[in-house]
């Protein structure tokens, strides 16, 4: 065998050793597994910021809705209280007016006999001198308080305002008519204080 052949054999042996080491290293080192990205396993910073902004907007929207509901509730409460107060004011004013009218009516009712005496004195021509002046002043004061007299001869008979104490028939009337007034009636505003006492003539 020549020296050249020996060199070839040595190189072949060395190549086999190196190949064996390479194969051994390849067996010990596992193949690199591809990394699979799972959805939601990792998000970019921009995605995290967008998610945080969305959560912030959602919380802000809920808080705004709560405040809006509370404001609406408070507004309804204010409207209800305002309406109740307005009704209270109207009721108090109405009751105060009714009480004042009732008190005034009581005083004027007590004065009606005095006014009847003045009417009788006027009919008989006795309303003269200082007494006439006092009578006129009293009539003016009661008129300012709202007292109004009614009941005149020839008025149509109204059972709601007249008290008939005598009845007769007459060809001169077409409907029940007051032909004589014994005592005038009085009203205070729309309130009847006393009906007029009259004699009534019915058509024949």
Mean of the per-residue pLDDT values for the chain? Answer: 82
Q: How high is the pLDDT of residue 37?
A: 45
The pTM assigned to this predicted structure is: 0.57
- pLDDT of 92 strictly over 80: yes
- pLDDT of 192 strictly over 80: yes
**Per-domain residue ranges of the chain:** 69-145, 148-204
50 falls in which pLDDT band (50, 70, 90)? low
Q: Does domain 148-204 have CATH number 2.30.22.10?
A: yes
- CB neighbour list of residue 138: distance below 8 Å, 6 or more residues apart: 111, 114, 115, 118
Q: What is the mean pLDDT of residues 6-19?
A: 60
Q: How high is the pLDDT of residue 38?
A: 44
Burial class, 167, CB count within 10 angstroms (exposed 0-12 / middle 13-18 / buried 19+): exposed
């Amino acid at each position: 065998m020549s020296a050249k052949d020996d060199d070839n054999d040595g190189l072949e042996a060395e190549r086999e050793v190196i190949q064996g080491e390479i194969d051994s290293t390849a067996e010990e080192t596992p193949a690199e597994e591809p990394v699979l990205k799972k959805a939601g396993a990792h998000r970019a910073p921009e995605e995290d910021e967008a998610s945080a902004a969305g959560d912030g907007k959602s919380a802000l929207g809920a808080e705004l809705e709560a405040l809006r509901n509370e404001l609406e509730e408070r507004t309804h409460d204010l409207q209800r209280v305002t309406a109740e107060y307005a009704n209270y004011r109207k009721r108090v004013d109405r009751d105060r007016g009714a009480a004042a009218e009732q008190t005034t009516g009581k005083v004027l009712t007590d004065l009606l006999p005095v006014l009847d005496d003045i009417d009788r004195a006027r009919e008989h021509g006795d309303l003269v001198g200082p007494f006439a002046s006092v009578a006129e002043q009293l009539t003016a004061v009661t008129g300012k308080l709202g007292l109004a007299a009614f009941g005149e001869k020839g008025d149509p008979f109204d059972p709601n305002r007249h008290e008939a104490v005598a009845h007769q028939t007459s060809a001169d009337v077409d409907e029940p008519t007051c032909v004589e007034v014994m005592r005038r009636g009085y009203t205070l505003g729309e309130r009847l204080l006393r009906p007029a006492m009259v004699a009534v003539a019915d058509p024949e």
